[in-house]
Amino acid sequence: MEKEPLVYIDGSLVPKSQAKISVFDHGFLYGDGVFESIMVFNGVAFQIKEHVDRLYDSAKALCLEIPLTKEEMLKAIINAVRVNGLRDAYIRVLVTRGVGDLGLDPRKCRKPTLIIIVDKIKLFKDEAWSQGVTAIISSVRRDRVDATTHEIKSMNYLNSILAKLEANAVGADEAIMLDERGFVSEGATDNIFIVKGGVIYTPQRSSGILPGITRRRIMMLAEELGYHVVEKDITPAELLTADEVFLTGTAASIVPVVKIAGRTIGDGKPGVITRKLMEKFRELKESPAEGIKVFE
């Protein structure tokens, strides 16, 4: 029989089938919590420090005090990967408000719950990277920056789920969301880039996007390759008439988009610049310099 994965819950490692939390946890009752997704590529926890930094930023925005130092958190995550023995894995770190009573007041929760899951994830079909994916422009607008904004990686993903349901309903792979002004914001769980005339554009944080770690790294990589990258407001018309469009995210890396709302992007195949970035990013994923080595 295959060994069950071990899940870290508040300092204990328990088999997946017994990894349970209280129904009174406010993460469950109210989506009151934060999370991060981290990949392990060839034994290296990729950009783990950036993810841990963002986890603490998200927690701070919610007045959620994580009971571990960043150093302790890094150790707990690395140890969870090690005990599971996976050289290629997906890590989900969650910090919830913890167990409280009914009633949403966070002051009723005595201490946060920390969960670390080490497993696998599949967000797109296998051909997504070679052939590209299709997308809709969702009628669901991205959360406002002065509301439950996706700049905070919280456990509230209903905004993205509503958009994803619309994509599912018409058989599209992803949903692109607009901000409340009508400018392009991001995908349900990925950031978006367009290429026009050899220049790379991506929406600004003020469009309510998650400041993606892959997004940031791709911007640096593109500049290293000599491309000009501009953060700006992007209209739906600019998106639909782009030469190339691609999405970025932790689990997906870079995914070309070849059709949006019935319009073919470029010639309907992953674009030249997209493919170049995909190739370079693939090299980065194997570089120990980009993270922390879990296994010697």
State whether residue 244 is helix, strand or coil.
strand
74 close to 87: Cβ distance less than 8 angstroms: no
Q: State how far the Cα of 85 lies from the Cα of 121, in Å rounded to an integer.
A: 16
Footprint (CB under 6 A) of ligand PXG, residues 41-100: none
Output 109 or 292, the one with its CB closest to ligand PXG.
Answer: 292
Footprint (CB under 6 A) of ligand PXG, residues 2-41: 37
Footprint (CB under 6 A) of ligand PXG, residues 228-257: 248-251
Q: State how far the Cα of 148 lies from the Cα of 107, in Å rounded to an integer.
A: 20
Strands 133-137 and 253-260: parallel
State whether residue 71 is helix, strand or coil.
helix
Which residue is catalytic, options 49, 120, 153, 293?
Answer: 153
From the list 212, 266, 270, 291, which residue makes contact with ligand PXG (rule: CB under 6 A)?
212
From the list 214, 234, 244, 258, which residue makes contact with ligand PXG (rule: CB under 6 A)?
214
Cβ 39 to ligand PXG shortest distance, Å: 8
124 C-beta neighbours (distance < 10 Å), count: 16
Amino acid, res. 105: D
Footprint (CB under 6 A) of ligand PXG, residues 106-165: 121, 123, 150, 160
From the list 25, 143, 174, 190, which residue makes contact with ligand PXG (rule: CB under 6 A)?
190
Q: State how far the Cα of 269 lies from the Cα of 140, in Å rounded to an integer.
A: 27
Polymer length of the chain: 296
Q: Is position 213 an interface residue for ligand PXG (rule: CB under 6 A)? A: yes
**DSSP conformational letter for 99:** B
Region of 6-14, 187-195, 198-206, 258-266 interacting with ligand PXG (CB under 6 A): 187-195
22 close to 29: Cβ distance less than 8 angstroms: no
Residues binding ligand PXG: number (CB under 6 A): 18
Output 37 or 79, the one with its CB closest to ligand PXG.
Answer: 37
Output 109 or 213, the one with its CB closest to ligand PXG.
Answer: 213
Q: Would you state the torsion angle of the CA atoms of residues 142, 144, 147, 153, taken in this order, to the nearest 10 degrees?
A: 50
Tokens of 267: 């010639």
Cβ 214 to ligand PXG shortest distance, Å: 3
E-state strands within 47-132 = 89-96, 113-119
Tokens of 136: 């809709």
Cβ 212 to ligand PXG shortest distance, Å: 3
From the list 186, 246, 270, 290, which residue makes contact with ligand PXG (rule: CB under 6 A)?
186
**Alpha helix (H) residue ranges in 187-247:** 213-224, 236-240
Cβ 90 to ligand PXG shortest distance, Å: 7
39 C-beta neighbours (distance < 10 Å), count: 21
Q: Is position 189 an interface residue for ligand PXG (rule: CB under 6 A)? A: yes
Active-site residue flag, 122 = no
Output 27 or 100, the one with its CB closest to ligand PXG.
Answer: 27
> Catalytic positions, please?
153
**Would you tell me which residues interact with ligand PXG (CB under 6 A)?**
37, 121, 123, 150, 160, 186, 189-191, 210, 212-215, 248-251
